Amino acid sequence: MQTWACGHEGDEGHSRLCPHLVCAGEVEYARVLRGQGLESDLCCPDCASLIKNGESIEWLRVCEACVELHEDNSYDLIEWIGKPEIKERLTPFDATLAETILSVDAAWAVAIAPLDVTRWVGFWQKEMFLIDGAEVAPICAAPPSTQKDGVWGGPHLAPSVSTSLDGRFAVLCHTRGRSGFVVDLEEKRVTMVLKKTPNTPFYVAFFQLDERNFLIHATDWMRFDISDPENGTLLSRREGHYSTFENGRLRVSPDSQWIVVEQSSRGGSERVVAWNLSRLLEEKFWESKEASPHRWLCSRDYLSDVPVAWVDNDRVAVWGISPDEELMLNGARVFDIHSGEEVFAFAGPSKKVFFGGGGRLFSAEDDGLHIWDASMGERLGRINGFKPQWQRGDFLIELNASRLSGSRVRAWNWLGAFD
């Protein structure tokens, strides 16, 4: 067995070290990118200065444990030097965008969301509307008790609409307010009023198990509940332990088996965790294990509301390479939901919006949509100028609502594009 520069045997570490880091204990270090994906070596601050002045330094090969010793002390990382390699494997695909013009001026809507490419649910003037091509039909008014929350408009409250997977229900809530309500779009009635402690994130999401709809919604500073959107019945129990974390955005897997939640504590610590939704329903949520998540994916301090997307039913991609919020590189970390382990990371996607499907990650960038192979970390192509805001089934959907030129909808069928 080979003995490495640190004097140890065993497997070689995936990074090399400058001589001053070898067996140096907990000391500050820089990461020097090699220009091959995210591969990097570690060096001390003095060697980092030399490298930045264009000088070369000695690199030593050490054992795996000696590299991990530094990596485990992630707060000792002071900077990245160089740039990661963004891999590209241009692949032919169908980039055709289906275009529709909505006859209504969607720019007036306080909040809007697609049911499919031509049908939308919108909210304005205290009323929910269904927009179907050229037709606009009122559904119902906001319940009076939610109007006490103040005006529904206003950017500080950020109202948003979400719709159930089957298009039966829609929910409107202030993502930073304290009230919301659920509407049955078929029966055109309010089925449930939502309340939440003010000035904390108020996120909601539908999921569907055995063809039944459920709504998961934040209800207090540190808790969320599951309700039946058809009648508002609470399906999670109120007694039991509270988490010490505030729940942020909720992202349900395509098969509704898992939900990924970004959580933050008042001390600024942030983590990305996942629950199995079938198990949550069986456990009635608060009864077991102090409401502890079923999977811990990653934690990064002071970093919240980052792009997260499911690339398929088993893997979820989380933006940002680095343990420290001030040293983040654009890229995605891919986690296997069954093991909770990080299986891959790659450079490229920026901190805008992520979507995913079919093993691919889609990032909406300044110049348009970038398409990534989430297993290889390679950019497969782009659709210039296309910046979708929603994913609905097999489609990514973009709405350009302008009071001058009308509302243009463009949609890309990502599932059929690579056949």
Instruction: Scan residues 199-228 and list those touching Zn ion (CB under 5 A).
Output: none
Nearest CB to Zn ion, comparing residues 20 and 241: 20
Instruction: Scan residues 373-392 and list those touching Zn ion (CB under 5 A).
Output: none
Nearest CB to Zn ion, comparing residues 50 and 107: 50
Query: Exposed e or buried b for every residue in 315-334, given b needs 16+ CB within 10 A?
Result: bbbbbbbbbbeebbbbbbbb
Residue 66: half-sphere exposure toward Cβ, Cα within 13 Å: 28
Smallest gap from Cβ 30 to Zn ion, in A, equals 9
Smallest gap from Cβ 33 to Zn ion, in A, equals 17
Q: How far apart are CA 118 and CA 128, in angstroms?
A: 17
Assess 8 for contact with Zn ion (CB under 5 A). yes
Contact between residue 385 and residue 71 where contact means Cβ atoms under 8 Å apart: no
Smallest gap from Cβ 63 to Zn ion, in A, equals 3
Q: How far apart are CA 52 and CA 43, in angstroms?
A: 12
Tokens of 156: 């500080």
Nearest CB to Zn ion, comparing residues 5 and 136: 5
Nearest CB to Zn ion, comparing residues 2 and 96: 2
Query: Exposed e or buried b for every residue in 19-40, given b needs 16+ CB within 10 A?
Result: ebbbeeeeeebbbbbeeebbeb
Q: How far is CA 396 from CA 158, 306, 308, 374, in A?
A: 22, 19, 15, 17
Nearest CB to Zn ion, comparing residues 82 and 240: 82
Q: Which of 6, 130, 139, 192 binds Zn ion (CB under 5 A)?
A: 6
Binding part of the chain for Zn ion, among 19-27, 28-36, 257-265, 405-413 by CB under 5 A, reads 19-27
Assess 17 for contact with Zn ion (CB under 5 A). no
Nearest CB to Zn ion, comparing residues 9 and 166: 9
Assess 361 for contact with Zn ion (CB under 5 A). no
Query: Of 335, 419, 414, 346, whose CA–CA distance to 378 is shortest?
Result: 346
Tokens of 36: 């091959």
Assess 63 for contact with Zn ion (CB under 5 A). yes
145 secondary structure, DSSP code: H
Q: How far apart are CA 378 and CA 17, in angstroms?
A: 28
Q: How far apart are CA 241 and CA 284, in angstroms?
A: 12
Instruction: Scan residues 20-39 and list those touching Zn ion (CB under 5 A).
Output: 20
CB atoms within 10 A of CB 88: 12
Smallest gap from Cβ 42 to Zn ion, in A, equals 9
Residue 141: half-sphere exposure toward Cβ, Cα within 13 Å: 6
Nearest CB to Zn ion, comparing residues 60 and 117: 60
Count of residues touching Zn ion (by CB under 5 A) = 10
Binding part of the chain for Zn ion, among 47-55, 68-76, 113-121, 272-280 by CB under 5 A, reads 47-55
Smallest gap from Cβ 83 to Zn ion, in A, equals 21
Binding part of the chain for Zn ion, among 17-25, 126-134, 228-236, 265-273 by CB under 5 A, reads 17-25
Q: Which of 33, 42, 47, 334 binds Zn ion (CB under 5 A)?
A: 47
Angle at 140 between CA 139 and CA 144, to 5 degrees: 165
Nearest CB to Zn ion, comparing residues 59 and 418: 59
Smallest gap from Cβ 292 to Zn ion, in A, equals 35
Binding part of the chain for Zn ion, among 64-72, 118-126, 140-148, 288-296 by CB under 5 A, reads 64-72
Assess 66 for contact with Zn ion (CB under 5 A). yes
Give the H or E element holding residue 147.
helix 144-147
Smallest gap from Cβ 8 to Zn ion, in A, equals 3
Query: Exposed e or buried b for every residue in 148-175, given b needs 16+ CB within 10 A?
Result: ebeebeeeebebbbbbbeebbbbbbbbb
Assess 44 for contact with Zn ion (CB under 5 A). yes
Binding part of the chain for Zn ion, among 26-34, 44-52, 258-266, 368-376 by CB under 5 A, reads 44-52
Binding part of the chain for Zn ion, among 45-53, 301-309, 360-368, 375-383 by CB under 5 A, reads 45-53
Tokens of 215: 């709504």
Q: How far apart are CA 276 and CA 256, in angstroms?
A: 9
Single-letter residue type at 205: A
Single-letter residue type at 154: G
Q: Which of 18, 30, 274, 311 binds Zn ion (CB under 5 A)?
A: 18
Helix (H, G, I), strand (E, B) or coil at 358: coil
Nearest CB to Zn ion, comparing residues 50 and 158: 50
Residues that bind Zn ion (CB under 5 A): 6, 8, 18, 20, 43-44, 47, 62-63, 66
